[in-house]
Structure 1
């Protein structure tokens, strides 16, 4: 139903849930891609929402979309050996293969309720195109990785990316161990020129912090600060030092990727609770489809709670913490007024089939979504007011996956 350029109403939503509230049997009026009213009002076309639980859209704050062609390749190996094998394959990957892989990733993420994502890979021009084609929000950029790409060439290509209604250019830096100080300073200047942020893997392994300390006399977060790099998104942080948390207050966000950290045996512990208490914007990412191997943000929220409780030996991290990280905090990272179901916020929403979330009780809705639900319980996704049907996505996944299978 093409209703997204005028007002329409999701009428009698069984429940709506965001990080601030749970409401029962209310309407959501949407106009020009934004939420106009939440309550009893109706306007324009009326869409029966009585069979659905509505949440904000989810933000996958860190992934490597095109790595779908590497899903299942060289699994069960630790990070450095695994990375060497990935880089070996990536050097010979064709543009067409990367685009098909990214298209599949976008379709998969939409299917699990992801309405926006932050991508670190080598084909951001495809992400610009795919964001327009499928209506998903995205942030991406070319990746500084000295072993594979000339940094000056990366900077030139980055300058060609233009912001659109759905796409934001960002500066991707693989890591402090895979880029020189000169490259880091180049990335810093570029991010400042483009008024964007640096997205970087940081303090991911014990080896990384040991070698950074040995070479630079500082731990990774300290090292970035010494270079004057402040506007960055730090991903992983399993080995961040306690005194570095204070330094991260000036960062754009930190991103927890629990599943890939466990799969690649990077160990350490992402200090979720301490960062929250320090006022740092904590977000959630799946990481890539080769290191996870899923792009399902719902699974990731559950795994985040479980890993945190395992690390802390207690239950201080709650379902609400990870739900907020995947919704409200993700939109804050993207500098978009979203992630909450309230007037003036972007109409990025996920509609869950209420009968799948049993027992259907108001005080159990959040728990059921985090600990029990799967992407199969999602019926529709709305981005910028545009309604996307799950069955349409499923059919397209089958079509594109056939292309991928023929190419590998």
Structure 2
């Protein structure tokens, strides 16, 4: 069968689709990935075929403009969407539609997706939850389509709450946008344009889901992209080692609530080797790199994390999933990008790990101090319960269906659709 992937034009989201794309390709299916010019270089490194669509979006610059500085004192609570007020649910749906979905999936991109879907006639379109225009293109091209989650399904939960609370002719900005898009191609709006026919979920079972979508569980697989194993990683560490990372996609735009300097201050002098994945730009503002810190521009997390006793990070879904895969205790200082922090996972990941005793939610307020992080690192390293519980979550993750099994599931679903 022919399968078209549509990621959000951000490198980390492309990587989140790569493992399934290659599994389908290895099973003999034709696979292509539709990407904006933002990801031209990245798609070439995957070894897969890219299809250019739409204009250059420059999301890194856009995100840098809307990033918060972590000092606003705003409420960090994440209320259950089912108990949110109608006005709050409607406003969040409206804000996401206008300020995000329409930005990352403009009309020109959807037009290119529709044209290509009608030309190539894919049997299946797999799309990022933020790229709802891909669902319009799938319907226009006669393809079955599914969402592939990157982090939590907060959008699914918000939409479910919206539909339950909406009354009569309630304003629905998301429906209005998608109906307008679809109408250009003779298509009627359906809720599958928002939530997909199915939703592939690589996150652990304890990350909250929405009641409406039909979920397909899949094991998370770490995809780091091309890299070489450094000499120092080819031998066992001399003592305890921890990883300190803010994720590659956050560089030069936004990071965690703590600055790089504050993070390095927190680990200075600890009896532990710290591998800090910071590049030259991130280190330029640091007066001194502590003696126990090994700064590296890039190292594959899949090779580094198995040697670590803990990882400190920003709560990105890729780093979170990689640490789960390797059974490493996590200390999360959520992203300072308010939209990501609230909607796509960092806070929920941190809270879930805390509840399972496999990690620490470091910044549970908008005040952060290096001393606080230092105390938590010591706590995790000295309490073996953290590593035992992280190992238990790893075994739980390994029990989820492998990516190869997902290929078989998708083959069956597409065959059923054809019948």
TM-score grouping bracket, smaller chain normalisation: under 0.3
Work out which structure has the larger RCO, using CA pairs closer than 8 Å and 6 or more positions apart in sequence: 1
Which is richer in helix?
Answer: 2
- Give the alignment's TM-score, normalised by structure 1: 0.25
